Chains A and B, each alone.
Chain A
């Protein structure tokens, strides 16, 4: 078959659609294939997109995109079985000068984004999965989909965590459960009024709420709640190997999380309308594959471009940024008529110069640090215990906060245990 496409993008998630949109706008012939029955059918995230990449790529994003709410509050809570100590951050800076975060549902957003790529001229073909790569010697020259061979000058693998394409290209090794977290999520429907009332929101305001502590029963991970327009995304993210070792099911942890009084209160009366689960690559730069080879680039989760620092777990913005960088690389490679690895190595340079690899380098020690179980049992317990002592009097003479901290520590941990954590944390997060 004669070559029709400059680029085949495998996977229509944020990375793939960003890449295809940019390529099509530059006039390249681009095909996007996606294994899902429709675009977005198989895609999942917690719920929020941060940063300005989409706004820069799509000038009318705020007016056109099917987002649920802006992120106007960011809350983090430490949980014990019964207690909850929260930091609730609200600031006009969330919306000024441009919105900083959007709460979105993937099935709607991904379809919209792929439609944008299609309007720009990309051919978007859902229901079509890439089974293998086409080779000419050591050069990738297209993909195999079922019995069809689809040639292209370059293949951009945006096929998500556990990328079959990056593995087939010999760039990514078989992934280990130590490098992955499992996310499970329920979408719980509630009326707009109830959500606004329970969370103190109005209009398009929304909250991104992260939880650390008893919700993962001491396993590395956390819980989250995002406010959609008329539903909540409620889920947890847990280290995969820890789940296996402890023989715990992620959905049992999710049930436990949902029954915590603070969570149960906000989801009460809601109707479960969607359940989903997904793997998240979390070892950052430590597990990142080679990013290119002759005729081949890898972007987004497939390249493990996910940042987890304990306080934040972001991937979609990295996906979009890497998809755009891949597109810029392909556009220049096309001008040069050279899709060799050397020509495509511009991709890595673009990522090195952007926040993508800079952030992953800054936080390269975070994945190891976050394995420390103290973060998930000891410190939330301590924090809540100190709060209990400070806020709930028992008729006894009051103590200073410092003495309360000391009493709290007694029998739980010694300074000798805590100091190394602080030292490690200083360089990691």
Chain B
């Protein structure tokens, strides 16, 4: 089974809150200096499911990511886990693309790879939590789609997918090729082995640019975005501390109750 996994680089969720900041003027998250991005944890789980399918059914796993500086690191992470190969899709014109454009770029790359049975994506990216790309890729490719998979296996007439619901699961059998988004219920992504890390470290990850993909420049980048971000800011949190004093505990309690009522808390 030939599987393509789409992965995204996100801000390392382990960074201390003091390092997280946004630039409200440009409406962008400012990446913390010195701390490289990591593979989106849901995408690492998609790689995990791909590896399990490969172990069971054989085949090849290719990894795709759209990104610029350091994007090869997340592809290498997937390779160190056991994926076979990967490509970075990078072009100046991709800068500022929204989820639809990213899905378009990925779809072009998937078509360029050509032979595939299954496309896996994480259920959503841990940065913006939109969960759009997988679905739009399926729409672009005209394949069947199952979201929120917690397990999958190949069967005679396609892929059997167990899909997470609020209080249980559904089982689908879809024809291949298909797009499946993978939920965290699939379980923890494996840690890369030592040899995996070394073999990934020595890889050169190829970069495909817009012209390699045949991407229409008018459909990508910030100008093509179908919606504009209006404002971006970190919510201001205010804390105030007042000491309520009284001659006796009873008096202090009464004053506290009055103050709480004034503040609308009770």
A and B: bona fide binding partners = yes
Give residues in A with beta carbon < 8 Å to B.
31, 33, 38, 40, 105, 107-108, 111, 118, 123-128, 145-148, 150, 271-274
B35 partner residues in chain A, CB cutoff 8 A: 38, 107
A124 partner residues in chain B, CB cutoff 8 A: 201
In whole Å, how far is B47's beta carbon from the nearest beta carbon of chain A? 15
Q: In this complex, what residue of B is CB-closest to A32?
A: B201
Contact A111 B198 (CB under 8 A): no
A126 partner residues in chain B, CB cutoff 8 A: 197
With contacts A272-B18, A273-B19, A274-B16 taken as known, whether A125 is within 8 angstroms of B33 at the C-beta atoms is no
A38 partner residues in chain B, CB cutoff 8 A: 35-36
In whole Å, how far is B68's beta carbon from the nearest beta carbon of chain A? 16
What are 10 A-to-B residue pairs whose CB atoms are below 8 Å?
Answer: A31-B198, A105-B34, A107-B33, A107-B35, A108-B34, A111-B36, A146-B193, A147-B194, A148-B193, A274-B18
In whole Å, how far is B17's beta carbon from the nearest beta carbon of chain A? 10
A-B complex: 4 closest residue pairs judged by Cβ atoms: A107-B34, A148-B194, A145-B194, A125-B201
Contact B197 A111 (CB under 8 A): no
Bits for B191-227, please: 1 = Cβ < 8 Å to A, else 0: 0111101101110000000000000000000000000
A273 and B19 alpha carbons, distance in the complex (Å): 6
In whole Å, how far is B255's beta carbon from the nearest beta carbon of chain A? 34
Contact B34 A128 (CB under 8 A): no
A147 partner residues in chain B, CB cutoff 8 A: 193-194
A87 and B34 alpha carbons, distance in the complex (Å): 33
Interface residues of B toward A: which range? 10 to 19
With contacts A38-B36, A107-B34 taken as known, whether A128 is within 8 angstroms of B18 at the C-beta atoms is no
Interface of A is mostly: strand
Most B C-beta atoms less than 10 A away, residue of A108, A126, A127, A145: A127
Q: In this complex, what residue of A is CB-closest to B192?
A: A127
Most A C-beta atoms less than 10 A away, residue of B19, B36, B198: B198
Would you list which residues of chain B between 160 and 213 have a CB under 8 Å from chain A? Answer: 192-195, 197-198, 200-202
A105 partner residues in chain B, CB cutoff 8 A: 33-34
Q: In this complex, what residue of A is CB-closest to B80?
A: A127
CB < 8 Å neighbour of A273 from B18, B195, B198, B200: B18
B19 partner residues in chain A, CB cutoff 8 A: 273-274
B202 partner residues in chain A, CB cutoff 8 A: 123
CB < 8 Å neighbour of A123 from B16, B33, B194, B198: B198
With contacts A146-B193, A148-B194, A150-B194 taken as known, whether A271 is within 8 angstroms of B18 at the C-beta atoms is yes
A127 partner residues in chain B, CB cutoff 8 A: 80, 192, 197
B198 partner residues in chain A, CB cutoff 8 A: 31, 33, 123, 125, 128, 150
A118 and B201 alpha carbons, distance in the complex (Å): 9
A107 and B35 alpha carbons, distance in the complex (Å): 7
In whole Å, how far is B75's beta carbon from the nearest beta carbon of chain A? 15
In whole Å, how far is A126's beta carbon from the nearest beta carbon of chain B? 8
A123 and B195 alpha carbons, distance in the complex (Å): 12
A409 and B18 alpha carbons, distance in the complex (Å): 47
A124 and B201 alpha carbons, distance in the complex (Å): 6
In whole Å, how far is A186's beta carbon from the nearest beta carbon of chain B? 11
With contacts A273-B19, A274-B16 taken as known, whether A40 is within 8 angstroms of B194 at the C-beta atoms is no
A207 and B18 alpha carbons, distance in the complex (Å): 25
In whole Å, how far is A192's beta carbon from the nearest beta carbon of chain B? 14
B195 partner residues in chain A, CB cutoff 8 A: 148
A124 and B193 alpha carbons, distance in the complex (Å): 15
Contact B197 A128 (CB under 8 A): yes
Contact A273 B16 (CB under 8 A): yes
A123 and B204 alpha carbons, distance in the complex (Å): 11
List 17 additional contacts besides A105-B34, A124-B201, A128-B198; criterion CB under 8 Å. A33-B198, A38-B35, A38-B36, A40-B34, A105-B33, A108-B33, A111-B36, A118-B201, A123-B198, A123-B201, A123-B202, A125-B200, A150-B194, A272-B18, A273-B16, A273-B18, A274-B18
B36 partner residues in chain A, CB cutoff 8 A: 38, 111
Most A C-beta atoms less than 10 A away, residue of B80, B193, B202: B202
Most B C-beta atoms less than 10 A away, residue of A38, A125, A145, A147: A125
Would you list which residues of chain B between 8 and 26 have a CB under 8 Å from chain A? Answer: 16, 18-19
